[in-house]
Chains A and B, each alone.
Chain A
Amino acid sequence: MKNWYMLTFIGKDRPGIVSQVTLALYEGGGNLGEASMVRLGGNFSIMLMVHYEGSADSLEKKMSKVCTVLELQVHVDKIEGELHRHVEPDVRISIYGADRAGIVAETTGVLTEAGLNILNLESDVGGSSDNPIYIMEMEGVAGKGIDSLKSALDKLAEEKHVETRISPINTLMG
């Protein structure tokens, strides 16, 4: 079992965050694994698997200089992790509608009930400040089959006034 950490970096977006953070990790003896990096509301966020043969404290110390320079907050968690353990999604679901409180909890709650295990969800708020729209796109595994999710989505569309789309992911292996 390798010594994996999950590092979270958050700060005001500016050019060079990815290169400087990863350079500091490389020079500090860390090896990078899977990552998610995205700009959210003017902030840049990084969640990054790092393999490192040392303590969480010493890893965090090695990040302190770059975090000061870039005004980033860093958080380090020891995790149980492995690479090469991808789970293949078999369904993609899109939901959008007028933004309102509770839309994510309501829709994902119903989908979980209908057997969905979400592997990846990306959401955004578009539209205008007066009329925001909430847009979600997710991929996952349909634990109870795709028909169960279809009927759950039909019900959601009718009761919660959201637009939904579901399509199977038929992965081609060639």
Chain B
Amino acid sequence: MAVFDILIYPDSRLKKVSRQISVVDESVKKFIFDLEETMRAGPPSVGIAAPQVGRFERIVIVDVSVKPDTPNHGKLILINPQINMKQGEVTGREGCLSVPDYTGNVARAETITLQALDLTGESKTYEMEGFEARAVQHEIDHLDGLLFLDRLVSRRNNLFKRKVYK
């Protein structure tokens, strides 16, 4: 077991696009165990993506089960995740292990349908909503070299749209 160092922006590696996993072999499994250990060891977080520790492969772990009153699938290990359907939009606050001391508002799909390989290499489909869907979208963004900073929406005037009639 090992705990990896987390890459911190402005490390340019966080902007790299990660590659697909072709086979879920023993080395991938070992890496995933260490990735989860890294997530549990650091500041409280509900997800982590492989590129955050410098491994540019399409693997994320999400676990929002610690949050009270939050519908969830428990611990999710998502390999080559792909969002097939997005519905609705909701703005919420996000922060990131790779971006300390800053949080911002980000608009995400409210409901998603997701396909990914699990730890056994089997393809699974998930439907999820709300906080868990947000966490998955945040982590999948890392696989495409995107941070929540790339999706910030203004904190100002995001609740009431004002029209001026003349």
Residues of A within 8 A of B (CB): 38, 84, 86, 88, 94, 96, 120, 122, 124, 126, 128, 135, 137, 139, 165, 169-174
Chain B residues whose C-beta falls within 8 Å of the C-beta of A38 in the assembled complex: 156
Q: How far is the CA of A139 from the CA of B105 in the complex (A)?
A: 12
Sampled A-B contacts (28; CB under 8 Å): A38-B156, A84-B100, A86-B101, A94-B160, A120-B155, A124-B162, A135-B162, A137-B156, A137-B159, A139-B155, A169-B93, A170-B67, A170-B92, A171-B94, A171-B95, A171-B103, A172-B92, A172-B93, A172-B134, A172-B135, A172-B138, A173-B43, A173-B45, A173-B94, A174-B46, A174-B62, A174-B95, A174-B148
Q: From residue B135, how far is it (CB to closest CB) to chain A in Å?
A: 6
Chain A residues whose C-beta falls within 8 Å of the C-beta of B134 in the assembled complex: 172
Known interface pairs A135-B162, A170-B131. Does A86 touch B94 (Cβ–Cβ under 8 Å)? no
**Chain A, residue nearest B108 (CB):** A172
Chain B residues whose C-beta falls within 8 Å of the C-beta of A137 in the assembled complex: 156-157, 159-160
Answer yes or no: B44 CB below 8 A from chain A CBs. yes
Chain A residues whose C-beta falls within 8 Å of the C-beta of B45 in the assembled complex: 173-174
Q: Is B92 a contact of A173 with CB atoms below 8 Å?
A: no
Q: Is A174 a contact of B160 with CB atoms below 8 Å?
A: no
Q: Is A174 a contact of B138 with CB atoms below 8 Å?
A: yes
Q: How far is the CA of A124 from the CA of B165 in the complex (A)?
A: 16
Answer yes or no: B47 CB below 8 A from chain A CBs. yes
Q: Is B93 a contact of A170 with CB atoms below 8 Å?
A: yes
Q: Is B101 a contact of A174 with CB atoms below 8 Å?
A: no
Q: How far is the CA of A38 from the CA of B45 in the complex (A)?
A: 34
**Chain B, residue nearest A169 (CB):** B93
Given A122-B155, A174-B49, 16 extra CB contacts under 8 A? A96-B160, A126-B162, A137-B159, A137-B160, A139-B155, A170-B131, A171-B103, A172-B94, A172-B95, A172-B134, A172-B138, A173-B45, A174-B45, A174-B47, A174-B96, A174-B148
Answer yes or no: B97 CB below 8 A from chain A CBs. yes
Answer yes or no: B48 CB below 8 A from chain A CBs. yes
Chain A residues whose C-beta falls within 8 Å of the C-beta of B139 in the assembled complex: 174
Q: How far is the CA of A92 from the CA of B119 in the complex (A)?
A: 39
Answer yes or no: B102 CB below 8 A from chain A CBs. yes
Tell which of B48, B156, B160 has the most Cβ of chain A within 10 Å: B160
Q: How far is the CA of A139 from the CA of B159 in the complex (A)?
A: 12
Chain A residues whose C-beta falls within 8 Å of the C-beta of B159 in the assembled complex: 94, 137, 165
Which of B94, B156, B165 contacts A174 (CB under 8 A)?
A: B94
Chain B residues whose C-beta falls within 8 Å of the C-beta of A122 in the assembled complex: 155-157
Q: Is B101 a contact of A173 with CB atoms below 8 Å?
A: no
Chain A residues whose C-beta falls within 8 Å of the C-beta of B44 in the assembled complex: 173
Q: How far is the CA of A122 from the CA of B155 in the complex (A)?
A: 9
Q: How far is the CA of A137 from the CA of B159 in the complex (A)?
A: 8
Tell which of B138, B157, B159, B164 has the most Cβ of chain A within 10 Å: B159
Q: Is B160 a contact of A173 with CB atoms below 8 Å?
A: no
Chain A residues whose C-beta falls within 8 Å of the C-beta of B43 in the assembled complex: 173
Chain B residues whose C-beta falls within 8 Å of the C-beta of A139 in the assembled complex: 155
